[in-house]
Amino acid sequence: MGAASTWKCRLTAGAILWMACAAIMLAQVKTTTSEQKGQAKKQVTVERGEVVYISGNEIVVKMESGEVRHVTVPDNARATVEGKEITLRDLRVGMKLEKTIVTTSSPKTVETVKSGTGTVVNVQAPNYATVRFEDGTVERYKIPKNQKFMIDGEAKTAFDLKPGMKITATRIITTPVVEVTEQKRVTGTAPPPPPPPATPAMEGALLILERVPRPEPIPAAMTQPAPEPAPAVKKLPKTGSVVPLMGLLGLIFTGASFGVRLLRRS
């Protein structure tokens, strides 16, 4: 076997051994994660506006502040108007909407503990060291005071660390996280009925038109001429009594007797 073949075999064996070691190192990585939650904070925001335009899913709302805002409403959006749930199809111009947004912020701290082997990249003794671990991460870690490192079976300090050294360490990774949730609720009122038309202002003289109702049409059966009534029997007026006549005759006879007496005396 030639020298070239021997070197190839050695390189192949070395590569296989390195891969096996890397696999063992990766298999030795241990990870533990824990969470610590803080006190949640709630923020309530109320927005009010009136619908001025509607076209499909696009609506334009004039906000209480005077701002004109364009909103794209999802098909599954819901709102409560005067106690009744409505959809996008039920929206009407003039509706007054109120959107209440409750934002909840929940802070928490996620602590991840990983143990494994890494390679020193840079050292800022005695406080910091940058290490590349077998999971591919390269981070700058804080070194606790008087921390010892076991290198080749000997305890070393941070001042003894050099780039390229292999160290075994347990990493504590603290990550602050804020979870934000948002709840939205839309309520509103229907537009008021249109006002009656305004009475125009009086100009000049005031005139009043009184319309006479038209007579109702008379049925055909009632339009035939009615038969003429029979002529009524005329009654003669009642004549005077004989008493006045007798009185008149008495006066005439009395006058005649006076005349006769006068003639005799003469």
Check pLDDT > 60 for residue 2.
no
Summarize the confidence of residues 32-56 as an average pLDDT.
Answer: 88
Rounded average pLDDT over 118-126:
93
C-beta separation of 182 from 102 below 8 A = yes
pLDDT given for residue 10 in this prediction = 56
Tell me: pLDDT of 140 over 70.
yes
CATH of the domain at 49: 2.40.50.140
High-pLDDT (> 90) share of the chain, %: 29
* 163 has pLDDT over 90: yes
Domain that holds residue 54: 41-106+182-189
- Does residue 226 carry a pLDDT above 70? no
Is residue 209 domain-resident?
A: no
Name the nearest CA neighbour of 174 among 108, 107, 111: 111
In a domain, residue 71? The reply is: yes
pLDDT of residue 82: 85
In a domain, 88, yes or no: yes
Please check whether residue 147 lies inside any domain of the structure.
Answer: no
Region for residue 256 given its phi and psi (left: phi exceeds 0; alpha: psi -120 to 50; beta: otherwise): alpha
Quote the pTM value. 0.44
- 92: in domain: yes
Provide the token pair at 107. Answer: 């802070």
Q: What is the mean pLDDT of residues 156-171?
A: 92
Q: Looking at the predicted structure, is the pLDDT value of residue 243 above 80?
A: no
Average pLDDT over residues 51-66: 92
Give the pair of three-digit tokens for residue 74.
Answer: 């999802």
Q: What is the mean pLDDT of the chain?
A: 79
Establish if 6 belongs to a structural domain.
Answer: no
For the chain, what is the domain count?
A: 1
Question: Is position 76 within any domain?
Answer: yes
Q: Is residue 56 part of a domain?
A: yes
Q: What is the DSSP string of 130-186?
A: EEEETTS-EEEEEPPTT--EEETTEEE-GGG--TT-EEEEEEEEEEEEEEEEEEEEE
